[in-house]
């Protein structure tokens, strides 16, 4: 297969690039923002026409949830227009596009897990622009997979695990939001999921295109997640002491962007159609040293 990756220096982009390098019979063109700005339609078309991918994986996004509230145009340019250009280009060369989206397309009021058919209603610009991107991709390319994931962490880039480990070095006590629930998802597992789907597509297996949820289990609050991170860090001697943790409410930690209190994603569809199991974030934390800078 011939795979074009955008945003290759992001959390998921790095894992994808690393893992795809080991896949046999695969040509990879991994592009960072400097080599392909996805908001530049001409550049997108030129890259796709020249490389002739069978699969485009869009790992580029504007992921700064709070900043997005101010950077509205930029968020829509990167999260809606860029994916649309990539999907149109994919369609023009007969490629499939694998696009990553987010749990933040949901409002968060549901009791229970969100399935792919649940009504979306984002609470902020980031979620709105990502939802607009999903719609644009689905409308522009017949062969599309939209993978909604959540609470991404990996060895590369910035994420909650790294922030906790950094704060744990300098603070004796931390207050963490305990009333938002979701599934922390390891970037390496997102990458391997996308690669498995890409292989199925290029091997000619019958594939049901559309939206899929893929996130980590067990579902937890940010407080629970922090608690687990510090337990492993102390156990593995990455930290000497565990900071005292206090669970606080969202109201006690105001942020520019509102976030869903429940963004638990249901993973059944991807299990049924692709036999892909949910990511296990506890396993991904086993090598906690990997998340220290």
Residues of this chain that bind ligand NAP (CB under 6 A): 6-7, 9-13, 33, 36-39, 59-63, 78, 82, 100, 102-103, 130, 149-152, 157
Residue 12 CA to residue 7 CA, distance in Å, equals 8
Task: Tell the smallest beta-carbon distance from residue 215 to ligand NAP (Å).
Answer: 8
Task: Tell the smallest beta-carbon distance from residue 234 to ligand NAP (Å).
Answer: 25
Based on CB atoms, which residue is closest to ligand NAP, 51 or 242?
Answer: 51
Phi, psi (deg, nearest 5) at residue 288: -70, -25
Q: Of the listed 76, 104, 126, 214, which one is catalytic?
A: 126
Task: Tell the smallest beta-carbon distance from residue 253 to ligand NAP (Å).
Answer: 17
Based on CB atoms, which residue is closest to ligand NAP, 21 or 246?
Answer: 21
Question: In whole angstroms, how large is the CA radius of gyration of the chain?
Answer: 19
Bridge partners, 133 (sequence order): none
Residue 132 CA to residue 23 CA, distance in Å, equals 32
Query: What is the DSSP pairing of strand 216-217 with strand 279-280?
Result: parallel
Based on CB atoms, which residue is closest to ligand NAP, 88 or 103?
Answer: 103
Task: Tell the smallest beta-carbon distance from residue 36 to ligand NAP (Å).
Answer: 6
Q: Name residues whose C-beta falls within 8 Å of residue 73's C-beta, 6 or more positions apart in sequence.
A: none
Residue 90 DSSP one-character state: H
126 is catalytic: yes
Task: Tell the smallest beta-carbon distance from residue 65 to ligand NAP (Å).
Answer: 8
How many CA atoms are closer than 13 Å to the CA of 23, on its beta-carbon side?
Answer: 19
Residue 127 CA to residue 121 CA, distance in Å, equals 8
Based on CB atoms, which residue is closest to ligand NAP, 69 or 242?
Answer: 69
Minimal CB distance to ligand NAP: which residue? 10
Based on CB atoms, which residue is closest to ligand NAP, 74 or 234?
Answer: 74
Task: Tell the smallest beta-carbon distance from residue 256 to ligand NAP (Å).
Answer: 16
Closest CA to 253 of 150, 171, 169, 180: 180
SS3 216: strand
Residue 57 CA to residue 4 CA, distance in Å, equals 6
H helix intervals, the chain: 11-20, 41-51, 72-76, 82-93, 125-140, 160-170, 187-202, 222-235, 268-274, 281-284
Based on CB atoms, which residue is closest to ligand NAP, 41 or 234?
Answer: 41
Active site residues: 126
């Amino acid at each position: 297969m011939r795979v074009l990756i955008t945003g290759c220096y992001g959390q998921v982009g790095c894992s994808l690039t690393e893992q795809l390098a080991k896949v046999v019979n695969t040509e990879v063109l991994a592009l960072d923002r400097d080599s392909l700005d996805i908001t530049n339609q001409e550049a997108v078309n030129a890259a796709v026409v020249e490389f002739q991918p069978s699969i485009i994986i869009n790992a580029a996004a504007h992921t700064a949830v709070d900043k997005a509230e101010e950077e509205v145009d930029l968020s829509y340019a990167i999260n809606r227009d860029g994916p649309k250009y990539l999907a149109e280009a994919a369609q023009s060369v007969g490629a499939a596009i694998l696009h990553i989206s987010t749990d933040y397309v949901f409002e968060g009021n549901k009791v229970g897990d969100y399935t792919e058919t649940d009504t979306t209603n984002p609470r902020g610009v980031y979620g709105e622009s990502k939802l607009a991107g999903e719609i644009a991709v689905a409308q522009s390319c017949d062969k599309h997979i939209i993978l909604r994931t959540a609470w991404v962490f990996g060895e590369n880039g910035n994420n909650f695990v790294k922030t906790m480990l950094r704060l744990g070095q300098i603070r004796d006590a931390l207050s963490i939001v305990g009333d938002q629930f979701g599934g922390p998802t390891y970037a390496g597992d997102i990458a391997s999921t996308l690669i498995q789907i890409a292989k199925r597509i290029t091997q000619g297996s019958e594939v049901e295109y559309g939206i899929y949820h893929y996130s980590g289990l067990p579902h937890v609050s940010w407080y629970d997640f922090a608690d687990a991170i510090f337990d492993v860090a102390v156990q593995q001697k990455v930290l000497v002491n565990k900071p005292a943790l206090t669970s606080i409410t969202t109201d006690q930690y105001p942020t520019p962007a509102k976030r869903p209190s429940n963004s638990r994603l249901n993973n059944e569809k991807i299990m049924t159609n692709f036999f892909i199991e949910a990511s296990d974030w506890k396993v991904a934390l086993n090598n906690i040293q990997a998340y220290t800078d």
